[in-house]
Structure 1
Amino acid sequence: MGISVEQATELDGGNQNHVVRVRGGRRDVVVRFAKDDTRMLVDPFDVEAWCLTATAEAGIHTSPLVARGTADGLSYLVVGHLPGTVAAANDLHAWREIGRIAAALAEVDVATAPDAFFTRFGRNPAEAWDAHLGYNFAALEGDDPLVDFGIYREPDRSKLRNVLASLRARRLSQGLVHGDLSTRNLLVNERYAVVDWGSAHSGPTCWGDLDQINRWRLLGDPESPVSEAAWSSALGGAGLTDAQAAPVLAELAVLHALDVVRWSYTSRPDRLDELVHRSARLLRVLGLTS
C-alpha cells in the first residue's frame, strides 16, 4: 500500500471488516479489510470507493479516498482519517443532520456506479425497483412459504397485496441509499461527516434510509436506538412531516418484512429463524397481522 507504519490501532465498530488506523510519516489513514477470508477476493470495496468519490463531489462531507486494491490476495480500502467523535444516539442535532444527508443523497448521480451497487434486477434503478416490487407482489400468491413460517396468515394476504400495490403506484425516486445511516456512522467535529458506505445500494432515496431508521424505531432495536424525538429530528432534516412520511414508510416496512425473509430462505438459511421472528413482529406492530 506504500504507507509507512509508525502506529497502528484497531478501531471499534467493524462488523464485516477489520478497521485499523495507521499513522506514519505525514499519513493518518484508516485501512479496512475483510474479517471473513471468503470476502477477501469477491468484495474489493468497489461500491464504497465509488460512494466516497461520488458523495464528495455532491458536497457531502465524508472520508477522502486514498487507495483501494489488493495485496497478497487481500482486498483493502484506505481512507483519510477524519478527526472527531462518534455522534451520541441522543444528539438531536445529529439526527437532523442524518435526515439532511438522506435527502442530499438524492442529488448523487448513480450512472457511473459499479455493477455491485445495483440489485439483481439490473442497472436501471426505476425498472429494477418496479421488478423488485413485482417479484414480491407475485410471491404473495399460491403456496407462499411465508405462510408456513408464520409471517402472515391466509386472511392477511389481500391486505399485504394492497400495500404493495399502493407502494408500486408511488413511483418513488431511485438513487443512492447509504444503508446504515445512524449516529454510529456520523462523526462530530467542526461539522458532521458521514462514514462507512459498506451497506450502500441502489433504492428509493431518501426513503430507503428513512425506512431503516423507522424500523429501528418501531422494533426498539437496542443496537440502533431511535427515540421519538430523534425520529422527529430526522424527518425534519429530510424536509418531511410525519403525515407525509408515515404512509410511505409503512408500505416500505411491509416490503422489507416480506422480502428479507424470502432472501434468507433462498440465500442465508442460517439467518432464517432470526429474520422470521423480526419480520413477523414488524407486521404485527404495523397492525397488518394478528
Structure 2
Amino acid sequence: MDDDVRAQSVLGAVLRDLGASWSDVEPLTGGSVNHTVRVRRSAGADVVVRIPVDPLRVDEYPVEAWASAAAERAGITVARVLRHGRHGGTPFLVAEYVEPDPRPITEPWRQLGAAARAIGTIALVGAPPSLYSRFGTDPATAWRAHVAYNVRSLDGADPLLQAGAYTSASSLREVFEPLGARAFEHGLAHGDLAPRNLLSRGPDATPVVIDWGAAEVGPTPWTDARRVYAWTHLDGEVSGSEFDAFTAAAGLDGPGDRRMLRAMTALHLVDVTRWARERRPDRYREYVEACRRGLRRLGLSD
C-alpha cells in the first residue's frame, strides 16, 4: 500500500473514533518522522494525531506515552498522550493539542540544556523494556556491554570496515575504550531535544516539552548532549554559541567534556550502522555513507 494511502486509512479510522471528520483536520509541519495533524473538535479539546511516515519504523508510541507521563510526574510540562494503538498494523498516537504562545522562548538552548538535566533525574520505575538497549535493564552494566561489543567488533574482518564506514579499527578502539571505563550517571534521555520540540507558553513560563518518541536510557545528560553535538559538528544545524548554551545549562562544559561527546558521537555513528546492516539492510548503504562522512568530520577517518 502506498504510504500516503496507508496514513490516510489510519487517520480515517482515528477520526471515526474521535467523532470527527476530514473537515476538522489541519496538517501540522515541522517533522519528517511522522505524519502529524491537528484535529479540531466541537465537543472536547483539540488533539494531535501522529502516524509514522516509515511503515517499517518500530512503534515508538508506547515509549512516548510512558516517558511523557513520567516527565509530567517529575514536574516537567508536557503534552499528554491520550491514546495510542494500531490500525491495520500501523501505529498511531493521539495527544492533547497545546496552543503555542506566539511570543518566542527566551534562550531556548539554555532551556533545553536545563531540561536534559531534569529529564535525567526521572525515576525509571515501570519503564518499558524498549527504553533500554539490548544489553539489559541495568543501565551501567548495559552501557559497558554496549561499548565492549562495539570495541570487539572493530577488527580486520568487520563488514563495516570492508564497506568503507571507517578506515582504522585501532584508532576507533582508542577512542571507544575510555567510554567503557568512565563512571557515568545513567537515566532517561529525551532523544530529540531541539527547539522544534519546545512549545512556548510565553516569555515568563517554562515551555512545553513534546515528542518523547525517541526517549531512551543511557548516560545522562550525555545522551541528549551527544545529539546536540552531532547537530553542531556534523550537520551544522546548531551554532557554536547555541551548543555552548546547551552544554553549560546541562553541566557539561568541563575541559574534557567535548572530547567525551566526540567519542560518544563516533560510537553512535558506528553502532547505528551496524544496527542497519542487521535490521534495516534496505538503508545500510545510507548509514555507511553517513558514518563515513561523520567520522571524517570528527577527524577520525581518512
**TM-score (norm. length: structure 2):** 0.84
Mapped to 1, the partners of 2:276 and 2:217 lie a distance apart of 19
Give the equivalent residue in structure 2 for 1:47.
Answer: 63
2:49 is aligned, of 22, 31, 38, to 31
Q: Alpha-carbon deviation of 1:14?
A: 4.0
State whether residues 180 and 199 of structure 1, in contact with CA within 8 Å, keep that contact through their aligned partners in structure 2: yes
Q: Alpha-carbon deviation of 1:23?
A: 2.1
1:13 is aligned, of 30, 38, 52, to 30
Give the equivalent residue in structure 2 for 1:133.
Answer: 147
1:107 is aligned, of 121, 125, 141, to 121
Map Cα deviations across residues 161-187 of structure 1 (whole Å, 9 max, x no partner): 121111111122222121111111111
State whether residues 165 and 292 of structure 2, in contact with CA within 8 Å, keep that contact through their aligned partners in structure 1: yes
Does 2:80 match 1:68? no
Give the equivalent residue in structure 1 for 2:241.
Answer: 229
1:119 is aligned, of 90, 109, 133, to 133
Residue type of the alignment partner of 1:30? V
Does 2:287 match 1:275? yes
Map Cα deviations across residues 128-153 of structure 1 (whole Å, 9 max, x no partner): 21111111010012411222222333
Q: For the structure 1 residues 149 and 99, does the alpha-carbon distance in structure 2 shift closer, same or farther, using more than 3 Å as the test?
A: same
Q: Alpha-carbon deviation of 1:75?
A: 3.6
Q: For the structure 1 residues 227 and 242, does the alpha-carbon distance in structure 2 shift closer, same or farther, using more than 3 Å as the test?
A: farther
Does 2:209 match 1:194? yes
Residue type of the alignment partner of 2:234? L
Residue type of the alignment partner of 2:33? Q
Mapped to 1, the partners of 2:220 and 2:103 lie a distance apart of 23
Mapped to 2, the partners of 1:178 and 1:281 lie a distance apart of 25
Mapped to 1, the partners of 2:89 and 2:102 lie a distance apart of 32
Map Cα deviations across residues 44-84 of structure 1 (whole Å, 9 max, x no partner): 72111101100011111111232234456654322111111
Number of residue equivalences: 281
Q: For the structure 1 residues 18 and 86, does the alpha-carbon distance in structure 2 shift closer, same or farther, using more than 3 Å as the test?
A: farther
Q: For the structure 1 residues 287 and 69, does the alpha-carbon distance in structure 2 shift closer, same or farther, using more than 3 Å as the test?
A: closer
Map Cα deviations across residues 231-267 of structure 1 (whole Å, 9 max, x no partner): 1111122123152421210110121121122112222
Q: For the structure 1 residues 283 and 33, does the alpha-carbon distance in structure 2 shift closer, same or farther, using more than 3 Å as the test?
A: closer
State whether residues 86 and 188 of structure 1, in contact with CA within 8 Å, keep that contact through their aligned partners in structure 2: yes
State whether residues 166 and 291 of structure 2, in contact with CA within 8 Å, keep that contact through their aligned partners in structure 1: no
- Unaligned 5+ segments in structure 2 are 1-13
SS at 1:141 equivalent: coil
Q: For the structure 1 residues 16 and 289, does the alpha-carbon distance in structure 2 shift closer, same or farther, using more than 3 Å as the test?
A: closer
Give the equivalent residue in structure 2 for 1:161.
Answer: 173
Mapped to 2, the partners of 1:279 and 1:260 lie a distance apart of 9
Please report the RMSD computed on the Cα atoms of aligned residues, expressed in angstroms.
2.4
State whether residues 86 and 183 of structure 1, in contact with CA within 8 Å, keep that contact through their aligned partners in structure 2: no
Which runs of structure 1 show a deviation greater than 6 angstroms over 4 or more consecutive aligned residues? none
State whether residues 186 and 192 of structure 1, in contact with CA within 8 Å, keep that contact through their aligned partners in structure 2: yes
**TM-score (norm. length: structure 1):** 0.87
Mapped to 1, the partners of 2:80 and 2:217 lie a distance apart of 22
State whether residues 118 and 202 of structure 1, in contact with CA within 8 Å, keep that contact through their aligned partners in structure 2: yes
SS at 1:9 equivalent: strand
Moved more, 280-289 or 106-115: 280-289
